[in-house]
């Protein structure tokens, strides 16, 4: 467990010393969302109707933007090689890296979402549901994204390949999360969507570190 | 006596058969230099011994523990071509993390070991600001900390100055005299008296 904390703090320390690595996707998230009122309509009714979809699609793209950096730098400088040959369980080391990724990308998105939700005229109850769906599902985005990132590590200019691999896997999360926020706007029950998002999180938490470890070992051979 | 056994391993990269049915064994105190032309499979052999890649067939074991198993991995130190340092971290932080990956918590030894490797005054320097030779010294410092019984060193003398080469040779000889094993590849002449040579 000590090595989990060491790897997590190492990744956080590195990110804080090179803040552009995690600030760029967050800036993209904020700027992309603020473009929609300019392009579609500044009218409250229109914006509040499309707000759940806009925020969720942009959130996924922002996470996707940040995934390339998850293993790329450690691969380039040889630290990933040392992690693979270490006697510590590789899934545990990867889980620490994925946790750091979520703390630097998913969590700030959750914290920014009330401001952006209010800017798109979401009511306070819907903003609460939006935050809840983001809190439940952004860890899944990091976990599922790690599988794609480990498969393409070592392949140059693989940004498009990562999108092709990962976006289809993100689709169920997008459907359930944005429909939960839309239903909350009409005062309907959202428990089914929340349970489904929670089950996706548990499944990805149990599977992703192991699948990513296998994919990394294969990529490094 | 501890024994590293390599039993009939074969390696193929693309359409090239690098080596086939290669067998040898090393016991405590042995130093083995793998020699061969560029592309003959020296690095591939070291990666197989390190558990980083698998052979087409055959097996590698140390004290009955197979390569890739947790116990085997605990007994090896592998130095590849890459520096294994993160540019955003200081020398001490890099060395401390590398050592924890390879073994126990040895934070208290980190500073002294860096000084032993001739890096006095650079303990808090970011790895990004170090020269290639200094980076090599930081990684080699983790050899001195962890004392894994099997050292697998791929071109360890690359980028080191003459003092660095002497320090490393001394450490390899010391490791061998203390009962450790060392497998290395190098194109340089080195002063290692007990060294055996395997040509690929």
Domain boundaries along the sequence of chain A: 2-220
| pLDDT the model gives residue A14 | 93
In a 13 Å sphere around the CA of A31, the CA atoms on its Cβ side amount to 7
Per CB-CB distance under 8 Å, the chain B contacts of A17 are 88-89
Query: How many helices (H) does chain B have, and how many strands (E)?
Result: 6, 9
pLDDT of res. A33? 94
Contacts made by residues A131-135, CB under 8 angstroms, sequence distance 24+: A132/A180, A132/A194, A133/A56, A133/A176, A133/A177, A133/A178, A133/A180, A133/A181, A133/A193, A133/A194, A133/A197, A134/A59, A134/A106, A134/A109, A134/A110, A134/A177, A135/A110
Cβ–Cβ under 8 Å, residues A86 and A207: no
Q: Sheet harboring B65-66: ordered strands across?
A: B16-27, B3-13, B57-62, B65-66
Q: Is B65 on the interface with A (CB under 8 A)?
A: no
Please say if the pLDDT value at position B150 is more than 80.
Answer: yes
Tell me, yes or no, if A84 comes closer than 8 A to chain B by beta carbon: yes
- Which has more confidence, B71 or B103? B71
Is the confidence at residue B105, as pLDDT, over 70?
A: no
The answer to whether ipTM exceeds 0.85 is: yes
The mean pLDDT value for B15-27 works out to 86
Residues of B in contact with A85 (CB under 8 A): 50-52, 73, 76, 78
B88: closest chain A residue by CA? A14
Q: What is the DSSP letter of A104?
A: I
The dihedral built from the CA positions of residue B130, A220, A74 and A68, taken in this order, carries a sign that is: positive
The whole-number pLDDT of residue A181 equals 92
Nearest chain A CA: its distance from B82 CA (Å) = 5
Q: Which two tokens stand for residue B100?
A: 């924890």
**Amino acid A30: pLDDT:** 95
> pLDDT tens digits for chain A (221 residues)?
688 999 999 999 999 998 988 899 999 999 999 999 999 888 889 999 999 999 999 999 999 999 988 998 899 888 999 999 888 999 999 999 999 999 999 999 999 999 999 999 999 999 999 999 999 999 999 999 999 999 998 888 777 888 999 999 999 999 999 999 999 988 888 999 999 999 999 999 999 999 999 999 988 87
Determine contact: A20 vs chain B, CB below 8 A. Answer: no
B89 lies within 8 A of chain A by CB? yes
Residue B185 main-chain phi, psi, to 5 deg: -120, 140
A220 contacts on B by Cβ (under 8 Å): 52-53
The verdict on a CB contact (< 8 Å) between B101 and A78 is no
Share of chain B above pLDDT 70, in %: 98
What is the structure's pLDDT at A169?
A: 94
Identify from A12, A20, A87, A217 which residue to disrupt to test chain B contact, counting B C-beta atoms within 10 A and taking the largest count: A87
A86 at B interface, C-beta within 8 A: yes
Higher pLDDT, B91 or A143: A143
The pTM is what?
A: 0.91
HSE toward the beta carbon, residue B108, CA cutoff 13 A: 1
- Rounded Cα distance between B162 and A204, Å, is 51
- Residue B26 and residue B173: Cα distance in Å, rounded? 15
In terms of average pLDDT, the best of A180-184, B122-126, B186-190 is A180-184
Best residue in B85, B95, B101 for a mutation probing chain A (most A CBs within 10 Å): B101
Read off φ and ψ for residue B66, nearest 5 degrees: -80, 150
B chain contacts of residue A14, beta-carbon cutoff 8 Å = 86, 88-89
Tell me if B33 sits within 8 A of B195, measured CB to CB.
Answer: yes
Residues B84, A88: C-beta atoms closer than 8 Å:
no
Contact of B71 with chain A, judged by CB distance below 8 Å, is answered with yes
Q: Is A2 on the interface with B (CB under 8 A)?
A: yes
């Amino acid at each position: 467990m000590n090595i989990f904390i060491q790897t997590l703090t190492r990744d956080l320390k590195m990110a804080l010393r090179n803040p552009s690595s995690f600030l760029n996707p967050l800036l993209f998230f904020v700027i992309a969302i603020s473009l929609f009122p300019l392009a579609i309509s500044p009218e409250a009714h229109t914006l509040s109707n499309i707000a759940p979809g806009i925020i969720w699609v942009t959130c996924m793209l922002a996470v996707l933007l940040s995934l390339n950096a998850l293993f790329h730098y450690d691969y380039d400088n040889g630290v990933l090689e040392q992690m693979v040959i270490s006697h510590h369980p590789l899934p545990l080391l990867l889980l620490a890296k994925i946790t750091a990724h979520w703390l630097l990308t998913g969590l700030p998105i959750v914290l920014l979402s009330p401001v952006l939700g209010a800017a798109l005229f979401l009511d306070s109850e819907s903003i609460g549901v939006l935050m809840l769906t983001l809190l439940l599902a952004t860890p899944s985005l990091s976990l599922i994204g790690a599988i794609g990132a480990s498969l393409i590590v070592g392949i140059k200019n693989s940004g498009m390949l990562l999108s092709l691999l990962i976006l289809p896997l993100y689709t169920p999360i997008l459907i359930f999360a944005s429909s939960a926020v839309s239903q909350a706007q009409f005062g309907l029950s959202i428990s089914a969507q929340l349970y489904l998002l929670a089950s996706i999180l548990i499944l990805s938490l149990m599977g992703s570190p192991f699948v990513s470890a296998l994919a990394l070992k294969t990529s490094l051979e | 006596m501890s024994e590293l056994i390599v039993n009939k391993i074969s390696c193929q990269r693309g359409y090239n058969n690098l080596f086939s049915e290669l067998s040898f064994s090393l016991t405590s105190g042995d130093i083995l230099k793998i020699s061969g032309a560029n592309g003959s499979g020296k690095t591939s052999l070291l990666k197989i011994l390190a558990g980083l890649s698998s052979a087409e067939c055959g097996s590698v074991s140390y004290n009955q523990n197979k390569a890739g198993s947790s116990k085997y991995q605990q007994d090896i130190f592998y130095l590849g071509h890459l520096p294994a340092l993160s540019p955003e971290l200081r020398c001490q932080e890099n060395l401390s993390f590398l050592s924890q990956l390879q073994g126990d918590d040895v934070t208290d030894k980190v500073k002294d070991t860096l000084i032993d490797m001739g890096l006095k005054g650079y303990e808090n320097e970011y790895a990004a600001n170090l020269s290639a030779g200094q980076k090599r010294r930081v990684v080699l410092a983790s050899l001195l900390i962890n004392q894994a019984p099997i050292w697998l060193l791929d071109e360890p003398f690359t980028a080191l100055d003459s003092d660095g080469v002497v320090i490393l040779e001394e450490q390899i000889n010391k490791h061998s005299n203390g009962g450790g094993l060392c497998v290395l590849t190098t194109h340089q002449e080195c002063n290692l008296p007990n060294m055996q040579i395997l040509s690929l």
